[in-house]
Amino acid sequence: MNLREKIEKEITEKVMTKLASERVELANIQDLLKFEKGVRVFGKNIDISIKEIETNLNSLEVDVEDLQSDYNKAKKGIDTAEKMSKELGLNASQIPNYKEAKDALKYGDAQIKKAKKYL
């Protein structure tokens, strides 16, 4: 092989190596650009999740208001039952639904506190 052939061969090898390297870089870039689809999909999923959260927060607010209303009424009933039973010299726990109402107030109080963490 003469000097010219050696030089051409060396140049060809360098060019081919460089081209191969550039093809790898281009392939890597193309692979990275494919992630735009994931960005769009997950971006839309976030919009859906936010809408669901907003809807659920509105429902939670309404439920807390309704629970608070019924809680206040049950509390008034308990207070009245305790006052009247005391005046009559009775034990309030003998009144039908008294124990259930007291238990419901404990549960309602816990639920209101739990819900307020998210409101």
Give 2-18 pLDDT, tens digit per residue.
776 777 677 777 666 76
Tell me what pLDDT residue 55 has: 95
Question: Does some domain include residue 92?
Answer: yes
What does pTM read for this prediction? 0.66
For residue 9, being part of any structural domain is answered with no
Residue 30 counted as domain residue: no
How far is the CA of 97 from the CAs of 5, 66, 92, in angstroms? 105, 20, 10
Of 100, 105, 98, 97, the C-alpha closest to 72 is: 105
Identify the domain containing residue 101 by its residue range. 54-116
Would 46 be classed as within a structural domain? no
Q: Encoding tokens for residue 31?
A: 């692979």
> Exposed (0-12), middle (13-18) or buried (19+): which is 81, by Cβ within 10 Å?
buried
Residue 55 Ramachandran class (φ > 0 left, ψ -120 to 50 alpha, else beta): alpha
* pLDDT, average across residues 48-77: 96
Evaluate whether residue 5 is within a structural domain.
no
Q: Indicate if the pLDDT at residue 96 is higher than 70.
A: yes
Residue 31 in domain? no
**Cβ(71)–Cβ(112) under 8 Å?**
yes
Query: What is the tally of structural domains in the chain?
Result: 1
